[in-house]
Amino acid sequence: MRERSQHRASVITVINLKGGVGKTHASWLLAAVCEERKKRVLLVDADMQANLTSSFVEEGHREPGVEALFDPAQDADPNTLIRKSVFPQIDVIPANTRLARFDLADRHLWEKTELHLSLVEPVSSLRPSYDFILFDCPPRLSVVSFAALCASDYVVIPLEAADWGAQGIVQVTAAIEEVQRHYNPRLKLLGYLVSRFKRARAYQQSYLKQLRTHFGGLAFDTVVPDLARFEQSVTDRIPITLQAPRSEEADIARALFREVEARIKALAGQSSHRRKSNVRRSTVVAA
């Protein structure tokens, strides 16, 4: 009990403008390792396609889901929206098509009503109960994606080893910078994650090389290959770490998780170093 109350979740948004690049699957892999390591994780499905929801929750569309947090008329308690999955460490706030009503694309409209700040309070209140809170975003930069960024500490951008100019990376990166500037200075980019990598294709190998040169340290070392066993695990709705714990695929999930943890630690170290040097600077000024 005591340990639970000391949790402060790391909050991560998984986002890209392009569809089908492995956003939901990245959330799946991280959740799979949380289950294995007994880390409490809350998956917030921010995509009305509800792919993540349907993997973990039966009849997720019937009850209120994430849309309730965007509805000013409801003033919903986020705890009432949480559904338990059959996996003890994995909880879900489901999505459904009712989210469409709130997922405005017109920025002027949502800024007027501050809809983009809808997730900030709910996330603060849920942080103590989890080790990780993950937002799985739709392939759009509408208000729900912005709201996830406004409430998060970190961002992961999955992309394919193909022309990244065509994957909306420029727009996503600009959106992150804008959120950092105006709404959430705490937000940090954890990195670009190459997903659905087709190892046998020469052009993907060559894009991977270019991508590493282009993004440098912001490219994850872990690459998630396109493998049938990953697809099987999603289809069977069993985390890969449980379905095939000794497989290469489970090891890839663990490597991704370790890298996420290490990147969070490194960024936290940088922030505390910056805070300390600010304190030192202000002490010198005061002296």
Ligand X SMILES: Nc1ncnc2c1ncn2[C@@H]1O[C@H](COP(=O)(O)OP(=O)(O)OP(=O)(O)O)[C@@H](O)[C@H]1O
- Closer to ligand X by Cβ: residue 39 or 196: 196
The reply on whether position 54 binds ligand X by CB under 6 A is no
Q: Give me the amino acid identity at 244.
A: A
Dihedral angle of Cα 26, 28, 34, 35, to the nearest 10 degrees: -160
- Within 246-285, the residues that bind Mg ion by CB under 5 A are none
Q: Nearest to residue 78, comparing CAs of 17, 37, 129?
A: 129
- Positive or negative torsion for Cα 7, 85, 27, 31: positive
- Closer to ligand X by Cβ: residue 21 or 190: 21
Query: What is the closest distance, in whole angstroms, from the C-beta atom of residue 151 to ligand X in the complex?
Result: 19
Computed on alpha carbons and rounded to an integer, the radius of gyration of the chain in Å comes to 19
The reply on whether position 71 binds ligand X by CB under 6 A is no
The reply on whether position 22 binds ligand X by CB under 6 A is yes
The reply on whether position 233 binds Mg ion by CB under 5 A is no
Where does this chain touch Mg ion (CB under 5 A) — which range of 33-41, 44-52, 55-63, 152-160?
Answer: 44-52
Question: In a 3-state reduction of DSSP, which class is residue 93?
Answer: strand
Where does this chain touch Mg ion (CB under 5 A) — which range of 50-58, 144-152, 236-244, 250-258?
Answer: 50-58
The reply on whether position 196 binds Mg ion by CB under 5 A is no
The reply on whether position 40 binds Mg ion by CB under 5 A is no
Residue 227 interacts with which of ligand X, Mg ion, none, CB < 5 to 8 Å by class: ligand X
The reply on whether position 243 binds ligand X by CB under 6 A is no
The reply on whether position 39 binds Mg ion by CB under 5 A is no
What is the DSSP annotation of 193-220? Answer: EE-SB-TT-HHHHHHHHHHHHHHGGGB-
| Pairing mode of beta strands 90-93, 83-84 | antiparallel
Interatomic CA distance for residues 97 and 23, integer angstroms: 19
Which of 231, 262, 270, 279 binds ligand X (CB under 6 A)? It is: 231
Asked if residues 16 and 156 have their Cβ atoms less than 8 Å apart, the reply is no
